[in-house]
């Protein structure tokens, strides 16, 4: 990877898709360069990685856990593990795929340790609609609330694959790397998750 641009899928999220676009924020210095700087003792380089990925990693954990406190806890654990295991990172592969895999695994493990597949709270602590138009904000808020309600009723596995594709805008290949499955499995899981999401949205509309 030659830049730290946001992960992007084959079809960026639009108003008709479940989640609006989000990116990986930070300066333009490549992740791999920051990793090498940190490996050579530059603490500021690791701080730059944290700034760049703290919100995306929190969001990834939130979509799995649907709980702000748990998502914050996971984000802290992720960066601790990244600092401890950075020597394990292979620069031939994308850094964001590696760190997302850690975040997803930590989130799913936390659900299992808590003895529940589904979270107990819907504590949404993410950025609100970006439009300056109050009417559009109201429309977006209502629509996003409906979708959050629908996704909340789905399994953690469904939420995870939808988040990676539509929210983090990853390609099928990138999602396969995060979930450690092949692309065919990713496409199958996405298809099934989208079908279930449509069904849940239909149930909410009829309710």
Is pLDDT of 163 > 70?
A: yes
Is pLDDT of 80 > 80?
A: yes
Q: How many CB atoms lie within 10 A of CB 11?
A: 11
pLDDT tens sequence across 166-183: 888 899 999 999 999 999
Q: What is the CATH number of the domain that holds 30?
A: 1.10.1740.10
In a domain? residue 138: yes
| Selection from 54, 178, 56, 175 nearest residue 105 by Cα | 178
User: Of 102, 123, 144, which closes a domain?
Assistant: 123
| Selection from 90, 77, 97 nearest residue 24 by Cα | 97
Give me the number of domains the chain comprises: 2
pLDDT tens sequence across 38-61: 999 999 999 999 999 999 999 999
Same domain as 96, residue 148? no
Residue pair 174/97 in contact by the 8 Å Cβ criterion: yes
DSSP secondary structure of 157-168: HHHHHHIIIIIS
Kindly state the tokens that stand for 172. 């099928």
Is pLDDT of 119 > 80?
A: no
Q: What is the CATH number of the domain that holds 159?
A: 1.10.10.10
Give me the domain span that covers residue 88.
24-123
| For the chain, the helix, strand and coil percentages under 3-state DSSP, each to the nearest 5 | 65, 0, 35
Is pLDDT of 76 > 50?
A: yes
Instruction: Look at phi and psi of residue 30 and say left if phi exceeds 0, alpha if psi is from -120 to 50, else beta.
Output: beta
**What is the arithmetic mean of pLDDT over 85-105?**
90
Residue pair 170/178 in contact by the 8 Å Cβ criterion: yes
Same domain as 92, residue 142? no
More confident position, 48 or 15: 48
More confident position, 35 or 2: 35
Question: Based on C-alpha coordinates, what's the Rg of the chain?
Answer: 17
Banded pLDDT at 141 (limits 50, 70, 90): low
Distance CA 175, CA 22 (A): 16
Is pLDDT of 149 > 80?
A: no
- Determine the pLDDT at residue 78: 97
Is pLDDT of 5 > 80?
A: no
């Amino acid at each position: 990877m030659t830049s730290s641009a946001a992960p992007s899928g084959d079809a960026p999220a639009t108003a008709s898709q479940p989640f609006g676009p989000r990116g990986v924020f930070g300066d333009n210095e490549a992740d791999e360069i920051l990793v090498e700087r940190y490996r050579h003792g530059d603490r500021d380089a690791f701080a730059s990685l944290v700034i760049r990925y703290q919100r995306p990693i929190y969001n990834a954990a939130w979509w799995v856990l649907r709980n702000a406190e748990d998502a914050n806890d996971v984000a802290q654990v992720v960066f601790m593990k990244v600092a401890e295991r950075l020597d394990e990172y292979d620069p031939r592969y994308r850094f964001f795929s590696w760190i997302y895999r850690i975040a997803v695994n930590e989130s799913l493990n936390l659900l299992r340790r808590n003895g529940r597949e589904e979270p107990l709270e819907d504590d949404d602590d993410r950025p609100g609609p970006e439009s300056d138009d109050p009417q559009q904000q109201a429309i977006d808020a209502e629509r996003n609330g409906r979708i959050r309600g629908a996704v909340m009723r789905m399994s953690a596995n469904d939420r995870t694959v939808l988040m990676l594709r539509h929210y983090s805008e990853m390609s099928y290949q990138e999602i396969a790397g995060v979930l450690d499955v092949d692309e065919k499995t990713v496409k199958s899981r996405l298809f099934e998750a989208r079908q279930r999401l449509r069904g849940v949205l239909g149930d909410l509309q009829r309710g």
